[in-house]
Amino acid sequence: MVYGVLRFINFAHGDVFMLGSFAGYFLSPLVNRFLAPQSYLGGLIVLALAMAICGGIGILIEFLAYRPLRKRPRLAVLITAIGVSLFIEYTCQNDHVFKAAPREFPNLIPSAIWHVGKLVIGSNQVIVFVVTILLLVLLTFIVQRTKVGIAMRAVAFNEQAAALMGINIDSIISFTFGLGSALAGAGGILFAMNYASIDPLMGVQTGLKAFVAAVLGGIGNLPGAALGGLILGVVETVASGIPGLSNYRDGIAYGILILILILRPAGLLGKWQPEKV
């Protein structure tokens, strides 16, 4: 989504994801002072707050680091994004901040286990499903049905024309970043709920995989990104289960990407934008 509007890959996205997890880590005990620990309401509040915090961080990053580079060559913005990502990672690893050691993420919701036939499903996993679908529906609604969404799509299509139509480009870009970062934060919470351990570098591989998924589906294309994410997730999980292949897990994501891009240079659902000559 951010790519669609801004035409650049935000390398710091994975780190906002990480910050979301940490936000949840610190917010959970706070929320537990007012509510019973491990309640759905508590979990929801933590999620909402973490998303808000991450949204704010995203807007801040955009304002400080990317806005000055709006008109600059693409590679420059890409490198800056990498710089921001490294900055966040190393600052968080510092002993005065989060320290590098992993921490255990608290249980946000009551843990329950259901048996459906041969499947064993935990409440944390179900929540991931439910929240993801809800957020995707919400996102689609915002992008397709609201005024802000139309403005976002206009800016994505043609920034100059959108400005001429009275759209405040700066606000829209900030909003897009905020929205994207909030979602990343949500991703961080959901991830932490299922994988329990969090550390400052957890966003690196996940962030890269997110781009792979987005590019796979045709970057700038929301349904494509969702499809890409799904495919990538399934393939990786299946590969981890196959002995002999599990070591190559990290490489598989990239392997698929390269394969798909060779066959379809614009991604699975992407539109090939031929250059007007």
Which stretches of the chain bind other proteins, using CB under 8 A? Answer: 3, 7-9, 65, 68-69, 72-80, 82-87, 89-91, 94-95, 204, 208, 211-212, 215, 219, 247-248, 250-251, 253-255, 257-258, 261-262, 265, 275, 277
Tokens 């870009």 -> residue: 173
Least Å distance, CB 236 to other proteins, is 13
Q: Which is closer to other proteins, CB of 92 or CB of 154? A: 92
* Nearby residues of 271 by Cβ (< 8 Å), 6 or more positions away: 218, 221
DSSP lists the bridge partners of residue 113 as 122
Q: What's the half-sphere exposure (Cβ side, CA atoms, 13 Å) at 66?
A: 29
Which runs of consecutive H residues, i.e. helices, occur in the chain?
2-6, 13-32, 40-61, 74-93, 123-145, 147-157, 159-164, 169-195, 203-217, 222-241, 249-263
Closer residue to other proteins (CB): 91 or 194: 91
Q: How far is the CB of 12 from other proteins (least distance, A)?
A: 10
The minimum distance between CB 250 and other proteins, in angstroms, equals 5
Q: Which is nearer to other proteins, 88 or 226 (CB)?
A: 88
What residue has token string 């990343």?
A: 184
φ, ψ of residue 114 in degrees (nearest 5): -115, 145
Taking the complex as a whole, how short is the minimal distance between the CB of residue 162 and other proteins, in angstroms? 21
> Measured between alpha carbons, how far apart are the two ends of the chain, in Å?
27
User: Minimum CB separation from other proteins for residue 102, in Å?
Assistant: 18
- For residues 153 and 249, which CB has a smaller minimum distance to other proteins in the complex? 249
d(CA 28, CA 43): 8
Is 78 or 196 the residue whose CB approaches other proteins more closely? 78
Among residues 166 and 265, whose Cβ is nearest to other proteins? 265
Least separation in angstroms between CB 248 and other proteins: 6
